[in-house]
Amino acid sequence: MPHIELLDQITIDKIAAGEVIERPASVVKELVENAIDAGSTAVTVEIEEGGISLIRITDNGCGIAKQDVENAFLRHSTSKIRSAEDLTHLSSLGFRGEALSSISAVARVELITKTREDVFGTKYIIEGGKGRTPEETGAPDGTTFLVRQLFFNTPARRKFLKTPMTEASHISDLLTRLALSHPDISFRFINNGQVKLHTSGNGKMKDVIYHIYGREIANNLIPLEFEKDGVRLSGYLGKPVINRGNRNFENYFVNGRYVRNSILAKAIEDGYKDFTMQHRYPFVAFQIEINPEKIDVNVHPSKMELRFSNQQGIYNLLYEAISKGLHEPELIPEVEMSG
């Protein structure tokens, strides 16, 4: 038997990256969530070749101070929590401090960032986990990440990538949801030089729905406003006439986070049951605001899964809100679309 040895940090990061960074869309998700956490009001995502050869994400958020830049790329380094106790009342999208170390372990990364307080910005290059010395540079306030040649040093991962078109469509779906969940942020998505999405950031979810899904859907929405037991629901329910054969039209966000959750999916299905045929799924786009102490997002590294402490309560609440919305649409004033 060979003797047992601890792996070096670069190898550890490369292996761990597999849990967080599966494909170009995972990089975009992590970096855009960071941009959102940084208080950005405008985020631009540019990709080439489905994000495999290039992803560039520019935000106008708080930036990273020069002395923090190298630390930001260390595994488990984060500005968002200080102890496990903070996990119980999490308000940011990130908290694991794993994204930057994971991305830089499996790609070539260039960061340019500047805080409002600093006169100069910082440029930092880190490729396959190996960082150069950060340099001073002129830069606007905010942060730009350039991520090139994803999985250049992990061929096993690269093999599992789909065509650039498929990878681009994953990114497009993701940005659609990020734009819907943050109508107050202007999102721009540029794929191979073409602008594919550009939301205004005016704060109105309905305008984002109109922009992404078009007039027919925007004209067939029932506003959802419901509050009970300290849980707030807001957004839109599609009228049952606009349905489709899969769940891709179901967008729900918990405290600004896009999640998949079987309880919510079931409540939507049951709430619409009397109004749609079997195996047809509605359009919905709504936010759930809930005390962070009543949920756990630290279930999986991708943070896509979420547990509610009171599952039955959440089911009942959503079911009741949907039934009410669908049974009394004529009682709710139609909001006319602008533009």
- 40 interacts with Mg ion by CB under 5 A: no
- 301 interacts with ligand ADP by CB under 6 A: no
Tell me the residue nearest to ligand ADP as measured from the CB: 94
Residue 40, SS3? coil
Query: Closest CB to ligand ADP among 104 and 199?
Result: 104
Locate tokens 């599992």: which residue?
A: 160
- 134 interacts with ligand ADP by CB under 6 A: no
Locate tokens 């049952």: which residue?
A: 240
CB of 148 to Mg ion, least distance (A): 20
CB of 79 to ligand ADP, least distance (A): 3
Interacting partner of 72 out of ligand ADP, Mg ion, none (Cβ under 5 to 8 A depending on kind):
ligand ADP
- 96 interacts with ligand ADP by CB under 6 A: yes
Gap between the Cα atoms of 139 and 148, Å rounded: 20
Task: Determine how many CB atoms are found less than 10 A away from the CB of residue 109.
Answer: 24
Interacting partner of 325 out of ligand ADP, Mg ion, none (Cβ under 5 to 8 A depending on kind):
none
- 24 interacts with ligand ADP by CB under 6 A: no
Window 194 to 213, contacts with ligand ADP (CB under 6 A): none
CB of 93 to ligand ADP, least distance (A): 7
In this structure, are residues 257 and 32 in contact, taking their beta carbons and an 8 Å threshold? no
Token digits for 191?
């794929």
Burial code (b: 16+ CB inside 10 Å, e: under 16) for 74-94 equals: ebeebbebeeeeeeeebebbb
In this structure, are residues 122 and 136 in contact, taking their beta carbons and an 8 Å threshold? yes
DSSP state of 213: H
CB of 41 to ligand ADP, least distance (A): 13
User: What is the C-alpha end-to-end distance of the chain, expressed in Å?
Assistant: 71
- 35 interacts with ligand ADP by CB under 6 A: yes
Interacting partner of 231 out of Mg ion, ligand ADP, none (Cβ under 5 to 8 A depending on kind):
none
- 94 interacts with Mg ion by CB under 5 A: yes
With contacts defined by CB under 6 A, name the span among 11-19, 30-38, 152-160, 293-301 that binds ligand ADP.
30-38
Which burial class, exposed, middle or buried, applies to 289 when counting CB atoms under 10 A from its CB (0-12, 13-18, 19+)? middle
Gap between the Cα atoms of 121 and 114, Å rounded: 4
Query: Closest CB to ligand ADP among 61 and 325?
Result: 61
- 233 interacts with ligand ADP by CB under 6 A: no
CB of 62 to ligand ADP, least distance (A): 5
Residue 214, SS3? coil
Which member of 24, 50, 51, 61 binds ligand ADP (CB under 6 A)?
Answer: 61
DSSP state of 55: E
- 61 interacts with Mg ion by CB under 5 A: no
Phi-psi region of 324 (alpha: psi -120 to 50; beta: other; left: phi over 0): alpha
Footprint on this chain of ligand ADP (rule: CB under 6 A): 30, 34-35, 38, 59, 61-64, 72, 78-80, 94-100, 143
Footprint on this chain of Mg ion (rule: CB under 5 A): 34, 94, 99
